[in-house]
Amino acid sequence: MNVYEAIRTRRSIRHYVPGVPMSREDLHKILEAAMMAPSARNGRPWEFVVVKDPAIKEQIRQAHPYCNHITDATLAIVICGFPSVESPYKEGFWPQDCAAACENLLLQAWELGWGTCWCGVHPDKERATALQQILQVQSVPLALITVGRPAETPDARGFYDAAKVKVLGE
């Protein structure tokens, strides 16, 4: 699968085959892809918490209103940002940096046959605070990504909209 195909066939997966383990190699490739993302001044203001423990998954499910699918997911990866790493020049860029990492993660996982669903955390303060406590991190949880073997096959779809494109010049 190349990038063209990965981007156009990826869908959010919210039904997973329970009990499927992930190899260390796949997990490494997925996290490495996330960390290859561009970031302002190459600050890489992130850390990644990999949650496999069923009890912690259940705590997260109760804290986040839209992630019931975490139960059957093989694991969840929480991308957390460090706003304090930034210089004044880069102020406020950390969510963009972390979001770029999220998208890389989604596409790499898909290429390896893993379905994902991006569940938003920051800037919802209630969710972010709850996840900080559950995961025992000081950083700011930006997104929770569930990862598992797909138990559904939603159709690929396209959203290209020429009305949303403005071209200046030739």
Ligand X SMILES: Cc1cc2nc3c(=O)[nH]c(=O)nc-3n(C[C@H](O)[C@H](O)[C@H](O)COP(=O)(O)O)c2cc1C
**Footprint of ligand X on this chain (CB under 6 A)?**
11-12, 14, 66-67, 117-120
Q: How far is the CB of 169 from ligand X (least distance, A)?
A: 31
* Phi (first) and psi of residue 38, to 5 degrees: -70, 150
Report the C-alpha gap between 143 and 98 in whole angstroms: 8
Give the nearest distance from C-beta 66 to ligand X in angstroms.
3
Residue nearest to ligand X according to CB distances in the complex: 120
List the end-to-end C-alpha distance of the chain, in Å, as a whole number: 34
- Beta strand ranges found along 2-108 (DSSP E): 46-51, 75-81
- Least distance from C-beta 120 to ligand X, angstroms? 3
In terms of CB distance, is 107 or 119 closer to ligand X? Answer: 119
Nearer to ligand X, 7 or 28 (CB): 7
Closer to ligand X by Cβ: residue 22 or 73: 73
State the Cα–Cα distance between residues 170 and 161, nearest whole angstrom.
Answer: 20
